[in-house]
Amino acid sequence: MHWADVTAQALAHKSDTHVVSTGITPSGEFHIGHLREILTGDMIARAAENAGLKVDFVFIIDSADPLRKVYDFLGPEYEQFVGNQLGAIPAPKEDGNPDWDRFKNENWTYANHFLEPFLKALKEIGVEPRLIDNLDSYRSGRFAELSKIACDRADEIRETIERVSGRELPDGWFPWSPLNSRGGLDKVRVTGYEYPLVHWEDEYGESGSSDLTKGEGKLPWRIDWPAKWGWVGVTCEAFGKDHGAAGGSYSTGREIVKILGHEPPQPLVYEWISLRGKGAMSSSAGNTIGPIEALRLVPPQILRLLIAKSKPNKAIEFDTGMGLVTLADEFERLAARNFEQELSNEDLSRRQKVQIEDAAGAMKMATVVSGQNIEATAVTFRHLALLAQTKSSDEAVWSSLQSSGVIESVTPQLQDRLNRMRYWIQSTHFPVEMRVNILTQPNKAAIQGFSKEEAAILRSISHELSTCEWNKREINAAIPRSIESVPVAHKWLAYKVAYLCLMGMEKGPRLAPILVEIGQQKIIKLLEASVELLEA
């Protein structure tokens, strides 16, 4: 079974009704790493529904969390908001400083600013959970009952955190963080408690009382999380390996939630997604690629496959270059398979059967609409990338594919894929190995540096390509054939000469498919001009 089906099966043994939860703090740009959390939850919810369970899939926006520091993408004016809640401070403008006008007129907050594009990406990728805003939940009193229990049993909760985490909490610690005189959650000390009020003094010389029922503050993270499980009724939650470590917030949370009168949810710990060559993604550090940007490159089904095909405990390295091309081509291969027919083969080994079931399960979870069939396009990403670079118009791309018998007609799916491909080619993400750049003038510097053997090969290549039939098979044969009359030991020298004269570099993408699309007349004209340069 697919990993999501395994989790759903475990949930089915406990109850017929479940709340699957995910949550993210909107501290900066949302990135592909965040998609792992919410897509993991989405896939569990889908699998549970497929198993006949009643499921409520929720996404908790941790807008009550504070701004930790002035991140690199923020202007210096945000220094005044360090410690203030993300749902209570202005969104940044393009220059990084607060947009006071939108904040005053539209209540456009810091949390809104980073959340909106993420929700747009989620909708495109087929994820539409029930949203729960944490700051609104505090202010409307949804945390009040559990906050009272936490404050009433402060010593018991303190003992739990210290015992399980192995760290000592500071003197004066209290399970409620009141807002100080400047609206922040730091630089404040609790001086007393009489429900519903928590009394405080801050470092600015001010004092006051925080009302639990009005959300004038919040529970510290290690209590806030299990409190959410309690009042939301969470029965399953996926979270990153940092929270799942021994002594981490899940370890303390599963004991604290029992103190609060509820049961802990079934956990699913996932590994992080890193950017190839750059390490773990981080909104605050700016090491990201956002979901909207990624969806401009490839269709949403391919991003869903990235998460679906990897078990949660396996780290994912996201590569917007050749890795994404490989993933896209894998998607097309899987879409073309008939998994039911494959599984009907009685001679399959157990291992083969598991591999087929895993692939089928991953494709089922890759669909944007649950239960929707995915059809192969018959056009690989590599081929489409080549055509998008060698053909000036969409019509020319479709004409090439139709004349070669690859497609019969242009579908909306194909047009959408070509649109994304053109964006990808123009972006910095497109892999150098696939970039097509046929010269318009002879490569004078390279040709003048040719040895006698290389000059002879150039003349031979020009002759062979001018006399061969203009198709991939004949072009593939013509280039290595060009060295038969030249005393050299390695066939690669013919390709080196061809690449230098045609593309201005010593190697590149496969030549034959490119030359077919460029046309014989244009290529021969360039090679003949290069030969003339030898004679000059």
HEC per residue, 417-469: HHHHHHHHHHCCCCCHHHCCCCCCCCCHHHHHCCCHHHHHHHHHHHHHHHHCC
The CB-side HSE value for 226 (13 A sphere, CA atoms) comes to 28
| Residue 290, pLDDT above cutoff 90 | no
HEC per residue, 237-292: EEEEHHHHCCCCHHHHHHHHHHHCCCCCCEEEEECCEEECCCEECECCCCECCCHH
Six-digit token string for 137: 């939940």
State the DSSP string of 357-385: HHHHHHHHHH-SSTTPPP---S--HHHHH
Q: Taking all residues of the chain, what is their mean pLDDT, rounded to a whole number?
A: 93
Per residue in 440-499, pLDDT tens? 999 999 999 999 999 999 999 999 999 999 999 999 999 999 988 787 767 789 999 999
Question: For the residues 491-519, what does the mean pLDDT come to?
Answer: 91
**Nearby residues of 3 by Cβ (< 8 Å), 6 or more positions away:** 311, 312, 361
Q: How many residues does the chain have?
A: 536
| Residue 175, pLDDT above cutoff 60 | yes
pLDDT of 277 reads 63
> What is 3-143+220-273's CATH number?
3.40.50.620
Per residue in 401-423, pLDDT tens? 999 899 999 999 999 999 999 99
Question: Where in the chain are the domains?
Answer: 3-143+220-273, 176-218, 381-434, 444-535
Give the pTM: 0.89
Which CB contacts under 8 angstroms, 24+ apart, belong to 392-399?
Answer: 394/418
Kindly give the residue spans of alpha helices, DSSP state H, lying in 57-189.
100-106, 110-124, 134-139, 144-152, 154-165
Six-digit token string for 230: 């309690």
d(CA 49, CA 352): 27
Element (H, E) at 200: strand 197-202
**Nearby residues of 408 by Cβ (< 8 Å), 6 or more positions away:** 402
Q: Are 502 and 495 in contact (CB under 8 A)?
A: no
Q: Are 458 and 450 in contact (CB under 8 A)?
A: yes
Q: Are 520 and 465 in contact (CB under 8 A)?
A: yes
Q: Which fold has domain 444-535?
A: Arc Repressor Mutant, subunit A (1.10.10)
